Amino acid sequence: MIRKLRTQRDDQQWMLDLALNMRGRVQNFERDDAEVPSGKRARNYRMLPKVWREAGEKHEKFAKRAHAMGANETACYHYDHAIESYRMAQHPIYFDNHPVKKYLYKKMSEMVDLRSKVASYPIERVEIPFDDGKTISCLFHLLPDRRKAPVVIYVPGMDQTKEVFPKAFHNIALSRGFHVIAIDGPGQGNSNMQKIRSVGDNYERAGAAVISYLQKRKEVDKKKIAIYGISMGSYWSLRLSSYDRRAAAVVSSVACFNPNNTIFTQSSPRFKQMFMYMAGYEDEARFDREVAQGMTVRGYLDKVKCPTLLVTGEFDPLCPLEDAVEAFGDLKVPKEMWVIENQYHPLWGLPNFGGMDCHDYVMDWLKLLFSGKRVPKKAGRISYIKENGDGPWGDCAWTPPVKKGQAYF
């Protein structure tokens, strides 16, 4: 029998079901877009795997038909969407041994392998040795000519896996001259299926193993290894760069710097339930005591030794602006922070970036840094990226009206 994880706030499930039914969301409620496929509707949380599976099956049919006809570009587009749909379908199921989760994860993996056959550049599966004969699973997106070049380590968010970034149909890192290795860190994707949990220093050690692997690859410029983390990955990326100082740059975006301060106490109950699964805990009090309390970047940032970019929405509920300002002040390296006016969590399709995602501008920042065209100063700069402005490169330096111990409103 599959046991059900419970948290103290599980009695709020009816509210999440109501929010999903009426607005199409169970978390990050500030956003207007739905957490269901276009044209679909889920009336409660348990319907999410089904509606996303159906979307995956639809894109899989289109992809395989185009693939059979030799229309590789179209096939790649639909494989990307099938992968994302199956990923979203398995995500709400918090049990490794659940037969539906296993099936959906297998379908996602099948789509990844088929996409590699039609992509315009090489995509390699990489298994990096970790503890007890287990491995950290990665997808290595290489430039078409496999030339020696900078590499970005993509650290996914809590509800993401290595399949999220980059998309093969439109790889924004490749067009800027980067290889990308996306990882399933402890608690994510295949690592969780292997019971590699997100506890202690597991994520830092896993990230260090990935860096060691990259330093052996002839395609990698060993002096230009960057770490890029999104959402909960923003937390892990900073902890990793404080633990292993071989990286040449770190970007911590869609901020969640102190999960113990917000995500487990003030946000959707599903965040905490999800992370208890990722950490391998069923006892909430024990999880709070042994895991949640220690999840902060405080006390670690002075150990980061490479240029750093922080990116946060002005009103991100998972990272109050005062937390971001404090983190920025604790960094003792060349640094920059972008505060995105009137934005929340995550940071996709923003008017502040002319309709683009933060991914695009982050890749630009790394390209400019590694080319020497834009190197942040140690004193640092905070930029206020306005909705009606022209992005982060212009005259947008800002002094936040927040001091230590104050709240930003």
pLDDT tens digits, one per residue of 100-114: 999 999 999 999 999
Task: Output 145-148 pairs: Cβ under 8 A, ≥24 positions apart.
Answer: 146/122, 146/219, 147/219, 148/218, 148/219, 148/220, 148/221
By mean pLDDT, which of 81-95, 150-164, 395-409 is the weakest?
A: 395-409
Instruction: Return all residues near 75 (Cβ < 8 A) that are at least 6 apart.
Output: 63, 64, 66, 67, 114, 115, 118
Extract the tokens encoding 233.
């990955």
Mean pLDDT, to the nearest integer, of 224-244?
95
Flag whether pLDDT at 15 surpasses 80.
no
Question: For residue 327, which of 235, 409, 393 has the smallest C-alpha distance?
Answer: 235
Reported as a single tens digit per residue, the pLDDT across 123-137 is 999 999 999 899 999
Quick one: pLDDT at residue 2? 46
Q: Domains in the chain, start-ordered, CATH in brackets?
A: 10-119 (1.20.1440), 120-409 (3.40.50.1820)
Flag whether pLDDT at 1 surpasses 50.
no
Flag whether pLDDT at 78 surpasses 60.
yes
Side-chain-side CA neighbours of residue 87 (13 Å): 23
Extract the tokens encoding 118.
């039609």
**CA 397 – CA 409 distance, rounded (Å):** 19
Quick one: pLDDT at residue 14? 63
Instruction: Return all residues near 214 (Cβ < 8 A) that are at least 6 apart.
Output: 151, 153, 181, 220, 222, 225
Mean pLDDT, to the nearest integer, of 332-346?
93
